[in-house]
Amino acid sequence: MPSIRSTPPFDALPSGAIERLEGDSHRIDAAPGHVFFREGEGGDWAFVLATGRVRIQHLRADGSVRTVCMVGPGETFCCLPTLDGGAYPATAIAAVHSVAHRIQGSLFRELIGTHPAFADRALKLFCGRLRESGCEGCAQAEDVPSRIAGQILSMANRFGERVPLTRKEIAELAGTTVETSIRVMKQFERAGWLRLGRGFLVVIDRPALQARAAGEDPGREPRRV
């Protein structure tokens, strides 16, 4: 189980600050469906996921909901309110039974102000997350198989080659229907790019998926269905 002291950006803190952080944090044992916070709510907490998976969901202007990110163990999530004092920009829901540590925003800001290495690491990490999730319009311009391949690779970078996500979760991340997600991933499986299991998938041919995510023909295009 990842600890706070091994989780970026907190791994940049000295041992004394880590001990204080661990002593002040609050453990949350979350059942599937537990809502850590809702989009638009005020809050002053940072979260570190120890076990499980958390969906980060965004409410679109048309009233629909899209999963924009899936958080895995050893990751922080939605720390923006601790930095700017604003509302949560998304909703965080436990996808499976999960354990998270909640950190008070005032302590987070104090550590930012007193430990430059931690501040630098935190800002780079959070800016990277914003780049990853903030260009939904650009992602929607891609064809669906490219989006699905890109999301599979993104999740493999988080969870390893065995990705513990369902077809439904991949569909939500790619902004498509479950039926389309199933059809495309079966095509990928027939092409030998991945292997599908019950509630998970295994990446087999990463270069082919990378080429497909870029909209290119990897030279091993799956048969049409």
pLDDT score at 125 = 83
What's the CATH number where 104 sits? 2.60.120.10
Residue whose pair of structure tokens reads 């988080």 in the numeric block: 158
Domain end residue (candidates: 118, 134, 150): 134
The predicted model scores a pTM of 0.78
Residue 147 has pLDDT above 70, yes or no: yes
Total structural domains within the chain: 2
Asked if 103 and 61 sit in the same domain, the reply is yes
Are 102 and 176 within one domain?
Answer: no
111 and 150 fall within a common domain: no
**Residues in contact with 74: Cβ distance below 8 Å, sequence separation at least 6, in sequence order:** 2, 6, 7, 49, 50
pLDDT at 141: 44
Question: Is the model's pLDDT at 170 over the cut of 70?
Answer: yes
Whether residues 120 and 147 share a domain: the answer is no
Query: Which of 55, 26, 23, 4 is closest to 170 using CA atoms?
Result: 55
Full residue range of the structural domain in which residue 146 is found:
138-213
Q: Which CATH number do you get for residue 157?
A: 1.10.10.10
Over its C-alpha atoms, the chain yields an Rg (Å, rounded) of 18
- Report yes or no on 153 lying in a domain: yes
At 10-24, the pLDDT tens digits run 999 999 999 999 999
**Which of 56, 150, 66, 58 lies closest to 94, judged by CA?**
56
Q: Do 144 and 113 belong to one domain? A: no
16-61: pLDDT as tens digits: 999 999 999 999 999 999 999 999 888 788 899 999 999 998 877 7
Choose the most confident range, by mean pLDDT, from 118-122, 172-176, 193-197. Answer: 193-197
Choose the final residue of a domain: 71, 99, 134. 134
pLDDT tens-digit readout, 100-117: 999 998 999 999 999 999
Tell which of 102, 134, 166 closes a domain: 134
Which ranges in the chain belong to alpha helices (H)? 15-24, 80-84, 105-114, 116-133, 136-140, 144-159, 167-174, 178-190, 206-213
d(CA 82, CA 103): 9
Instruction: State whether 16 and 104 are in the same domain.
Output: yes
Residues 82 and 122 in one domain: yes
Is 70 exceeded by the pLDDT of residue 224?
no
pLDDT over 90 (residue 175): no
pLDDT of residue 2 exceeding 90: no
